[in-house]
Amino acid sequence: MTTRLDKFEEPLKTDLEELLNRFQRTDSVRYEDFSAIWRDMNFGGIFLGIKNLKEKNEFSRMALTAATAYLLPPYAFQVRVGGVYILYGLYHSQSSFPKQKIRLALKDWEDVQAFTQDAMGSQHYDVVYILHKLLGAKAFHFTAMPVPLVFVKDKKQRGTTNAEVAAKPASRPQKLVTTQMLEEVANIHQHYKQLKESVVVQNPESNLNLLRQNLVPKLFNSVMSYSTWQKIHMDGRKEASELNLEEPSTSSSSFDPRQESSRRANLLAAIKARSYGQVVEAAKSRRHRQAELSSAAEAGPREERGFGQEPGAKPVPVPRRRQRFTNSLRYRTLRRLYENGGIPEEFLKCTKLWKLSKADGDETTERVAKRFTW
């Protein structure tokens, strides 16, 4: 979905909820009552105003996906009936080409079939008729997942907005453990304690200690300690963010180019020292030329090609490195076999290739090239 159409998602859900609320107030599941509300709200006009075909397709998919949620549990039967009617109206009112289909996962199709059986048993045939009309028009696109599964992450990561920073911390434990809930837990715990005491009186030999003492005070203290820790944690994060925001202003006011250059020089020196302190192991084919670790001080200044000399001075000649000749692997193997007495000495001599081209005493006939004459 494009960024331009993101702002229409929440208003669309609000309009769908308004349509369903008005349909619920009728206390009916008839299609004629729903169609009257649909026409009164002019709900089919939500597809007007979009001229781009790509945006039409995206908005149609968004609308059908938002309406499909009301077809599935845990909504009531009347709301699910309204979801069926909304899907029918949106599918036939969309102006996209080709028509976008209703994405439905296979695991949710069982719930739709059970809903259809309930409608048949309650003799709500208009609901069944609308579902069969959608199936006949091939409006459903059966998939493995309810939403498209994407393995590549979006490269455009949204930055942290002010709303996200100023969001309130989660307070579900505080909302769950209320005063009424604690009173109810205390009453249930007291009743359970009386039942256990009656069992112990009937069977004095039984040693059942399954009661947790001071359950309600411990639960209340746990919630309060969590709330205190959450407040301290949020205050610490707020102070850290404020310090991070203040650091650039203080550092920019006391900027010293000498300190900056010194810090950069120290950083480069540390990187070079770390690089020269590691010796890369040579490959197997270059074992005779293994690298050795040497410091920059031992290497001394470069004297080749006139580096480090005064301008105008005669360059110091650098003796060339004598190339080392090594015998081939074949010769070394034959030499080792000859020393062990495995082959005669004549195998060590080079083979004359021209001797293999003709036998002894044969004369070679030279080929005369014919020249082209005009």
Q: Please, which pLDDT band fits residue 17 given cuts at 50, 70 and 90? A: very high
Does position 159 have pLDDT exceeding 50, yes or no? no
Q: Which residues, other chains included, contact 215 with Cβ-Cβ below 8 Å and sequence gap of 6+?
A: 185, 186, 189
Most confident of 13-17, 156-160, 243-247: 13-17
Q: What pLDDT does residue 270 have? A: 77
Does position 158 have pLDDT exceeding 80, yes or no? no
Among 71-85, 123-137, 279-293, 342-356, which stretch is predicted with the lowest mean pLDDT?
Answer: 279-293
d(CA 205, CA 128): 64
Closest by CA position to 23, among listed 32, 13, 14: 32
Across-strand partners of 105?
Answer: 143
What are the start-end ranges of the H helices in 254-358? 257-276, 296-299, 329-339
Q: What pLDDT does residue 164 have? A: 39
Provide mean pLDDT across the span 67-87. 92
Among 36-50, 310-324, 327-341, which stretch is predicted with the lowest mean pLDDT?
Answer: 310-324
Q: Please, which pLDDT band fits residue 63 given cuts at 50, 70 and 90? A: very high
If you ran DSSP here, which 8-state letter would residue 295 be given?
-
Q: Which residues of 212-239 are buried (b: 16+ CB within 10 A; e: fewer)?
A: eeebbeebeeebeeeeeeeeeeeeeeee
Instruction: Please give the single-letter amino acid code of residue 323.
Output: Q
Residue 309 has phi, psi (to 5 degrees) of -100, 160
Helices H / strands E in the chain, number of each = 14, 2
Does position 183 have pLDDT exceeding 70, yes or no? yes
On average, the pLDDT of the chain sits at 75
Among 85-94, 107-116, 140-149, which stretch is predicted with the lowest mean pLDDT?
Answer: 140-149
Q: What pLDDT does residue 303 have? A: 47
Most confident of 151-160, 242-251, 324-333: 324-333
Provide mean pLDDT across the span 35-41. 93
Provide mean pLDDT across the span 43-48. 88
Does position 289 have pLDDT exceeding 70, yes or no? no
pLDDT > 90 in the chain, percent: 28
> CA-based Rg of the chain, rounded to a whole angstrom?
44
Q: Which residues, other chains included, contact 227 with Cβ-Cβ below 8 Å and sequence gap of 6+?
A: 171, 173, 174
Does position 163 have pLDDT exceeding 80, yes or no? no
* Secondary-structure breakdown of the chain: helix, strand, coil percentages, each rounded to the nearest 5: 60, 0, 40
Q: What pLDDT does residue 103 have? A: 93
Neighbours of 67 (CB within 10 A): 25
Is the backbone peptide bond immediately before 248 cis, with ω within 30 degrees of 0? no
